Structures are given as C-alpha cells and as structure tokens.
Structure 1
Amino acid sequence: MTPADVSTPAELRALLRLAGPVVVSQFASNALSLIATAVIGRLGARELAAAAYANAAYYLVFIMLVGVMLSVAPRAAQAYGAGNGTGVALALRGGLRLAALLSAAALPLMWVLAAFLPRFAPDGVDSGLAAAYLRTYSLGMLPTLAFTALRGTLEGTGQPRAVTAVALGGVTWAALVGPALAFGLGPLPRLGLIGAAAASVSASWWMAALLWRPAQRRVRRGGGGGAAAQDVGAEVRALFRLGWPIGLTLGAEGGMFSVTTLLMARFGPDVLAAHTVTLQAITAMFMIPLGVASATGVRVGQAAGAGQFARARRAGMVGLGVSATVMLAFAALELLAPRTVLGVFVNVQDPANARLIATATAFLTIAALFQVVDGIQVTANGALRGLQDTRTPLLVSLLAYWVIGLGVGAWLAFSLSLGARGLWFGLTAGLSFAAAALVTRFLHHTRPGREARALRLSGDGSGAAPPSD
C-alpha cells in the first residue's frame, strides 16, 4: 500500500509508470480503427462510404456502452486501495456479466437498425452493403465490452502492461488479417468490406481471450475468493449506477462534435475538410491526456479506497499538471509549426490544398487553447471517476457541451458572422467551462478534513466515504 504521505515527486513517478503503458494502449486502440479505415479505403469509395454510413449508426450507441463499462476501473481501484481482494474479484465478474447483459440488449438493436438502414441511406451509399457491414461489425460488441472490463480490472490494480501487450498484439493481428480477408490471400477468398469487418471482429475476440488469463491471475493473487451470486448481481447494479452517467457523458461529447461537423458543412466543402483534418490532428494528440486521465483515476481511486483523501488530492493535481504540460507543448507546436502538424494528414505542398491549409491553420490557432482545456477537463473527469463521482460531471458536460459549446458557437458563427471560427470558439468556451467546473468539484471532494470525515463514516478507516455533496 502506498503511504499517505507520499511526496509529489514520488506520486509523479508512480503516475508516469502507470500512464505510460495506458497511453500506448490508447494509441493502439486508435490504430485499430486507422488500420480498418486504411484497408476499407483501398477497397474503393463505394466500400468506404458504406462503412462510414454504418459506423455513424453504430458509433453513438457503442461509445455509450463502453462508457458504462469504464465503471469497472474505479470500482477495482477503490477495492484494491482498501486491500479488498474480494471487491476486485467482484468488479471483474460483475463487469463481465454487465458486458454480456449490455450486448444482449444492444446487439439485436443493431440488427434491427441494419434492417431499416436501406430506407434512410442517401444517394450514392450502397445501403445493402452498409447493412451487411453493420451486422458483421456489431458481432465484435461483446468481446470489446468484455475487454474493457478485463482492462479496467488490470489497470485499476496497477497492472497495465498486460493490456498494452495485448492491445499491440491486436494491432498486429488487424494489420495482417484485415488485408488478407478483404483482398484475399492464398486460399482465403476476397471478402471485400465484409472481410474487413470480420477482421476487426476477430481482433476484438482475440484480444479479449488473451486478456482473460492475466486478469484472472491478478484477481487470484489479490486474494479474491468466491462470491455469492447475489453479490455479483449487486456489483452489476453498482457498476451500472456508476457507469451510465459516464456513457451519457461520452455520448454528449460525441454528439456535440457531430452537430458541430454538420454545422461546419454549411460553410462549404473546403471548410468542412479543414475542420476534419484539424480534428484528426488534435484527436491523435488527445490520446496522451486520455491515457493520463485513466491513470489519474486509478491513482485517485486507490487512495480514496484507502481513505486517504490528501493523497487522492495530490494524485489528481499531479495528473492535471501532467496533462496540462503535455497539451501546452502540443499547443506550442501547433502555433509555431502548423504546416508540420497538418502535413501528417494532408499534402501541404499541393497548390490545390492551399485554401484547406489556410483554413485549418486558423483552426489550429484556436485549437491550441482548445487542447489545453480539453486535456484538463478529461483528466479532472478521470479523477472524479476515481472518487466514483459521475452524475454531477454528466450534468456539467451537458451544460458545457450542449448549452455553452454549441450555443456560443452558433451565436458567434451565425449571429456575429464569425463563420466557421465561431464554432471552434464555442467548443473552446464549453470545454473551458467544463475544465473549471470539474477541477473545482474535485478540489471540493478532496478538501482538507475530508479524510477525517471518511474515517468517521467507515468506523475503522478501511474504506472511503462516497462523494455525497
């Protein structure tokens, strides 16, 4: 157990040891989608359009389900911090059961949606191909949700390296199997878009299967014994209560960016392309604070589970400092060398892209501030998850994204005639509000005197009091 008086440098070292593998895992997860997109793009515009249309229908539901499953990590972290091996085992078993229940509810919905997809497909999209892709791709839902539960257990108990190894193995699998099934290799037939979807599904099942043994071994080593069926059922309910606000928070954020993209289309294809390229650039950079946020939540959760709120406060502030520093460095790169950043995603030497580059450069100037506050808000959100506080962050996110972000952005873009830049200013305003509100709430939860209160409520100092104010 980490001592309550751990120094800030020691906390920083512990955070970086945990965050390093988590960040690599985040990049690996992002690489899976990049590989799939690259394979499908080489099949042709028809296949790419069909996959994009199907993914648009699939993504919002899927990301909310993944958000629910993110509740496993803070539950495991707090149990681990309290020295409760049975609690860690319950978090894993409850998480796997919850993954099965969510999949049982959502998978039929995806197949029904696939049946109705052809009725709403726009001209130029092969609706039959999109429906077939959606049916195949959705078969990876269960293993992906199970992988999230297994990953949460390992990361929550401070063992992220197995997750990283498996995630990198999944990337290798997808890179080899994707082209083989899509284009045909040796005795394998050319399956086209369905083959690309099947490769993604097989990678999901492969990764979940590989991570099963390390997670089970971790639980056994922690002293996690058998648990009664009613205990697992209660854990499922606890995970869902903690997780559904996380899922809606991710859905609200994803919805904000989707609506912004739709509004951006009103300014023409060049502006929309510049917006898309800028988002691609900052999304790649965002993997680092996203990984730091996950690690921060684990560190905060372990300290809170031990009833050590002073250490939880220090862990959260160290995580916020790391994310802010990283994003400030990226902001400097975007301001000083925007063409270098954009050159990763588009040919900046092509005269045909001159307008796109100029517009994207203007967006990057705003994104420099946008990314700093975005890194802070996601890390503060992670720290609050470590305290098992998810409902108030949901309300903050709804207000920040849908009222301030979209409201201010639309007002600046259309009423004040700032154009597309106004939408980016609106996003920055919303994220700035979220960052300030979430950091304030975290500091409130870990204020001096909180630890003594937790000790009084727990009676013996073995557990943390849940956030209640």
Structure 2
Amino acid sequence: MVLSNYTKEFSYNLKLATPVILGMLGHTFVSFVDNVMVGQLGAAELAAVSLGNSFIFIAMSLGIGFSTAITPLVAEADAEENLGKGKSAFKHGLFLCIVLALLLFGMLLLAKPLMYIMEQPEEVVALAIPYLDLVAFSLVPLIVFQAFKQFSDGLSLTKYPMYATILANVLNVAINYVLIFGKFGFPEMGIVGAAVGTLISRFVMLFYLWFLLSRKEKSRAYVTGIKLFHLTKQALKKIINLGLPSAMQMFFEVGIFTAAIWLSGTLGANAQAANQIALNLSSMTFMVATGLSVAAMVRVGNQKGLKNFPELKRIAQSIFLLGFVFAVVFALFFAVFNEVLPNLYVDLDNPVDALDIAEVVEIAATLLLAAAVFQITDSLQVIVLGALRGLQDVYIPTLITFVAYWLIGFPISYYLGKEDSLASLGIWIGLLAGLSSAALLLYIRFVYLTRRLILVNEN
C-alpha cells in the first residue's frame, strides 16, 4: 500500500466534508448552548433537558436516518447527469420526510406518560414535560430541513446547509439568552425558553436553506415548482427500501445512547447530568465523523454511477484513514482535558448546589476517559456506514448495527451500569463494546462488497 494513494484525496474529501461537519456541529451546538445555559440553573434542570432530549434523539434518529436515502440517489443521478431521475428522488424523499416528521411529532406527544414509569427523579420529569412539548414540534421543520440538506449534499452543494445552520445557531443563542434568564424585559422561562429558541431557529433554518437553493443554478430546478403530490409507487418504494433500513441503523445507535441516558437516570439526577455533559461533548467530535460519512456517501455514490469500483474502494479507504487521524486527535483531547471540560457546563460559584456540582463534574470527567477510548471505533463505524449507503447496501448493515448495539452493547451497559457495579462508567463500557463491534463488522462488510464488485466488473 502506497500511503500517498490515499492521502492525496484528503484535500478534496475535506473540501466536501467540512461544510457538512460545520453544519452538523451547528445542530450539536444548539444542544451545547442549551446545556451550558440550562446548566447554570441547576443539576435538575440539566437532567430534565437530558431526559426530554432522550425522547427527541430517538425520533430524530428515525427522521435523519430516513432522509439519508436521498443523498446516494441524487449523487448517482448527478454523476449520470440525469436531472429527471435526481428530481424524482428528491421530491419523493421530501414527501416521505414530511409525512414521517408529522408522525414522529404525534408519537412523541403520546409517549410523554412513559417518563412517569421509567424510575426517573420526579423533579426532573416535572421540568422535562413542558420542554418536550415544544422541542417535539421543532422536529417537523428539522426533518424537512434534513430532506433539503441530504439533497443538497447529493449535488455536492454542502456549504448551503452549513450557512443555514450557522444562522439558526446565532438566532438560537440570542433567543435562549433572553428567554431562559428573562433579559431585556422578556419573561424568565427557564428550560422552556431553551425549547422556544430551538423551535424558532429550526423553522428559520429550513426556510433559509430553501431560499439559498432556489437561487443556485444547479439546484433551482429541483426545489422550485415541486409537484409534491404527483407521486409514483415505484419511486416511493425505492426511497422507502433505502430510507427505512438507514433509519433503523441510526435508531439502533441513537437508541443505545438514549438507553444510557435512562440508565443514568436510575442512578440519580447527578449521574444523569454528568452523562449528558459527556454525551454532549462526545457528540460534537462525532459530527466530524458524520461529515466524513456524508463525503463517503457522496463520493462512493458518484463512483457507483460511473461504475469505477477500484477507484470507489480507494476513495472510501482514504476517507476511513482521514477519519482515523481525526479520531486519534480527539481521543487525546478528551484524555488530557477530561477534568476541565465538564466545568463549562456548571456554575462553580453556586454555594447551594456545591456538593452536587462537584459530583457531576467528577462523574463526567471519568466518562470522558471512556469517550476518549471509543473515538476511533465510533468514527470508523459511521464513516463505513456512509460508504455502504453510497453503495445502496442497507439491509445487512442494519442487521449488523442491531446485533452490535443491542445484543452486545446494551446487555453490558445494563449489567455493569448498576449502582452496585461500575455505575455510570459501566454504562459507557457497554457503549464502547457496541461501537467497536459495529466498526469491525461493518468494515468487513465493506471489504467483502467492494472486492466482489471489482471481481465481477473485471470479468
């Protein structure tokens, strides 16, 4: 293996992935801002946001996962210069994302009573319910935005979703500040103010992305004059066949992290708040891998359309290598600063909750060491998943993610995460086991498929 065959792709891969990374970081930054600002109110409020968002993450995973079906289809059509095929994929994907968004919103409202039977702290549940109502509705514009984003990524126009996300973040910070703390004459709404900021910013984000794409010559024909209800069963079926397994893949992964939140809740509000801090920090580094995953999906989809399978394999492996480099850097960052980073989320000058805050910081620092270890496997599994989606291979990867997270990872989290065992650290050891299993099995799947495609093409 000549290393330069792979490193020479780094520049273009980063050019494609960087706007996606920044856009995805923007989504996470909304959560970061909510957590930092709400953390100033106390451990119970931070735990309530964690509990409310645990429901949101499950629904969001289904919506975002489903929308990823649009990207490889649009990328393949773009490589073939087939506008009709690409527009059909986007239109049918957009319709299904709208329907799914409304269904998920309704399901979240119906799921609220589950909070009362999950052995969560009572004061946390009382705070989480009104927060969840508003953030659940914000899923509708978010999932519709994802349909536009995945389409834009498929055309390699990755910077426009980034612009929309940056605008949404600025707006979210401003609204949070005035509504959480009651500044400039606005009412002091606490964590409900954070939910209002999220809701408004996501609607603005959606409409601004549509505006940008409608002005761009390459995308204008796709996003204007959409006959949304002129649909065909064949096109709907193709999107569903790709989107549903992709949604389940993300659901299985996000589900185990959500289970970690719930398991942490059985250990008390402090353990749950610490879990939220570590999860929020590790999710920000995960967005880099997610951006590279989109780059893998687009570039593999392009090469699939061109039927150049040796080049497809080389390009994908260059992205795997780039993800590994970033993951090592992030692992070292968490290991070195594990005791410093949790302090960003709490009010160290609060004498009333000083003991609780000290415990939250101590637990979070330990969890960040576990997060440092799984940076590499977490990065690899999501980037390989992107490459497999580019190949439009979704069914076996779905089975792999289920086995890795729920037959390997979750039982370990459940067993080791009890108070008389390793508690919070035990929960995260289970996460590490699930992510590592997924990374190994998905990579084996990618190697098998590309080898077979190359051999068939040569013959």
- Which category describes the TM-score, using the shorter chain as reference length? 0.7 to 0.9
Q: Distance in 2 between matches of 1:349 and 1:228?
A: 54
Contact 1:307/1:455 (8 A) holds in 2: no
Which amino acid letter does the alignment assign opposite residue 453 of structure 2? R
How many Å apart are 1:441 and its aligned residue? 0.9
Q: How well do the aligned residues superpose, as a CA RMSD in angstroms?
A: 3.8
Residue equivalent to 2:66: 68
Does 1:426 pair with 2:430?
yes
Residue equivalent to 2:453: 450
Contact 2:299/2:315 (8 A) holds in 1: yes
**Residues 312-334 of structure 1, C-alpha deviation per residue, up to 9 Å, x if partnerless?**
21121111111111111222333
Q: Distance in 2 between matches of 1:366 and 1:335?
A: 9
How many Å apart are 1:298 and its aligned residue? 1.3
Residue equivalent to 2:57: 59
Residue equivalent to 2:24: 26
CA gap 1:336/1:401 in 2 versus in 1, 3 angstroms: same
**Residues 9-29 of structure 1, C-alpha deviation per residue, up to 9 Å, x if partnerless?**
442221110111111111111
Q: Distance in 1 between matches of 2:425 and 2:13?
A: 36
The residue matched to 2:156 in structure 1 has which SS? coil
Residue equivalent to 1:99: 97
* TM-score, structure 1 normalization: 0.81
How many Å apart are 1:202 and its aligned residue? 1.8
The residue matched to 1:176 in structure 2 has which SS? helix
Q: Distance in 2 between matches of 1:36 and 1:363?
A: 20
More displaced, 91-100 or 395-404? Answer: 91-100
Which amino acid letter does the alignment assign opposite residue 19 of structure 2? P
Q: Distance in 2 between matches of 1:284 and 1:35?
A: 12
Residue equivalent to 1:368: 372
The residue matched to 2:374 in structure 1 has which SS? helix
The residue matched to 1:388 in structure 2 has which SS? coil
List runs of 5+ in structure 2 lacking aligned partners. Answer: none
How many Å apart are 1:214 and its aligned residue? 3.3
Contact 1:373/1:435 (8 A) holds in 2: yes
More displaced, 383-392 or 133-142? Answer: 133-142
Contact 2:52/2:131 (8 A) holds in 1: yes
* TM-score, structure 2 normalization: 0.83
Q: Distance in 2 between matches of 1:357 and 1:424?
A: 16
Residue equivalent to 1:279: 279
Contact 1:90/1:227 (8 A) holds in 2: no
Q: Distance in 1 between matches of 2:160 and 2:172?
A: 18
Residue equivalent to 1:77: 75
More displaced, 317-326 or 85-94? Answer: 85-94
Q: Distance in 1 between matches of 2:85 and 2:114?
A: 43
Contact 2:334/2:368 (8 A) holds in 1: yes
Which amino acid letter does the alignment assign opposite residue 375 of structure 2? Q
List runs of 5+ in structure 1 lacking aligned partners. Answer: 1-5, 457-469
Which amino acid letter does the alignment assign opposite residue 400 of structure 1? A
The residue matched to 2:291 in structure 1 has which SS? helix
Which amino acid letter does the alignment assign opposite residue 239 of structure 1? I
Contact 1:177/1:199 (8 A) holds in 2: yes
Which amino acid letter does the alignment assign opposite residue 140 of structure 2? L
The residue matched to 1:446 in structure 2 has which SS? helix
Identity percentage over the alignment? 26
Name the count of aligned residue pairs: 448
The residue matched to 1:159 in structure 2 has which SS? coil
Which amino acid letter does the alignment assign opposite residue 255 of structure 1? G
The residue matched to 2:9 in structure 1 has which SS? helix
**Residues 57-93 of structure 1, C-alpha deviation per residue, up to 9 Å, x if partnerless?**
4432232122111221122112212222222212221
How many Å apart are 1:149 and its aligned residue? 0.9
Residue equivalent to 1:124: 123
Does 1:329 pair with 2:329?
yes
Q: Distance in 2 between matches of 1:117 and 1:278?
A: 24
How many Å apart are 1:258 and its aligned residue? 3.0
Residue equivalent to 2:395: 391
Q: How does 1:181-260 map to 2 (within 5 A)?
A: 181=179, 194-216=192-214, 217=216, 218-220=218-220, 233-260=233-260
CA gap 1:273/1:144 in 2 versus in 1, 3 angstroms: closer
More displaced, 161-170 or 87-96? Answer: 87-96
Q: Distance in 1 between matches of 2:139 and 2:43?
A: 26
Residue equivalent to 1:437: 441
The residue matched to 2:307 in structure 1 has which SS? coil
How many Å apart are 1:356 and its aligned residue? 5.9
Contact 2:168/2:202 (8 A) holds in 1: yes
